Structure 1
Amino acid sequence: MKARIAATLGHRKQYPIIRIYRYVYNDQTVYWETAPCCDQQSTVYDTKGNVLCHPDGGITGKGDGQCANFEKRKANERLVWQDPR
């Protein structure tokens, strides 16, 4: 996630600001990075930084369909980071 944070800080501030949350999803710890805006997909990563899916956003608002149950199955939300600028 450090690389994702560094990449975000390397670009101009987005609106809404980027946030990263930690959850338990399908019995594993995952990180959900919000999308900056409009028709962009948010991203869920595993603890090694691998992309698991895009649960929402995009033209349909439903992401890539790879974790359609993310909203219902995520648990133990914790805000890990948000753009401080």
Structure 2
Amino acid sequence: MRPTQTTAFDTTSRPRWLEDRIQRHLAEPKQNPIVQISRYTYKGQVVYYETLGCCDQFSNLYNTKGNLICHPEGGLTGRGDGQCPDFEKNRTGERLVWRDPR
């Protein structure tokens, strides 16, 4: 589920790597669907979930240090890489961190 258009961005303590990632997205052409990054708690830790544009691209799940944990969705099957199949079911505390404003 994606946050509504009226959801305010959570800018609380964005890690430097995440700010850099956002700037890279802004330097590239706008994607469709729009790229967005949300923060969750998953397996007891804060994680950042990044959706990417079309088609068959993996979504990315990062830890607070910017290390890739897994690809929860996307790819040819739409089910990601299979490394965190319980992410959607077990994530909590959704906070929209950033959505491409263009």
TM-score bracket for the superposition, by shorter chain length = over 0.9
Q: Which residue is equivalent to 1:18? A: 35
Q: Which residue is equivalent to 1:27? A: 44
Q: Give the TM-score taking structure 2 as reference length.
A: 0.81
In 2, the alpha carbon distance for the partners of 1:80 and 1:62 equals 23
Residue number among 79, 82, 85 corresponding to 1:68 in the alignment: 85
| Aligned-residue identity in percent | 58
* Contact 1:44-1:55 within 8 A present in 2 as well: yes
In 2, the alpha carbon distance for the partners of 1:3 and 1:63 equals 24
Structure 1 counterpart of 2:24, which letter?
A
Query: After the TM superposition, which segments of 4 or more aligned residues of structure 1 sit over 6 Å from their partners?
Result: none
SS at match of 1:22: strand
In 2, the alpha carbon distance for the partners of 1:2 and 1:49 equals 11
Q: Which residue is equivalent to 1:82? A: 99
* Residue 2 (structure 1) shift: 0.8
| Structure 1 vs Structure 2 CA RMSD | 0.6
In 2, the alpha carbon distance for the partners of 1:19 and 1:32 equals 8
* Residue 35 (structure 1) shift: 1.7
* Contact 1:30-1:47 within 8 A present in 2 as well: yes
Please tell me whether Structure 1 or Structure 2 has the larger radius of gyration of its CA atoms.
Answer: 2
Q: Number of residue pairs matched?
A: 85
Q: Which residue is equivalent to 1:4? A: 21
In 2, the alpha carbon distance for the partners of 1:74 and 1:4 equals 22
* Structure 2, unpaired ranges of 5+: 1-17
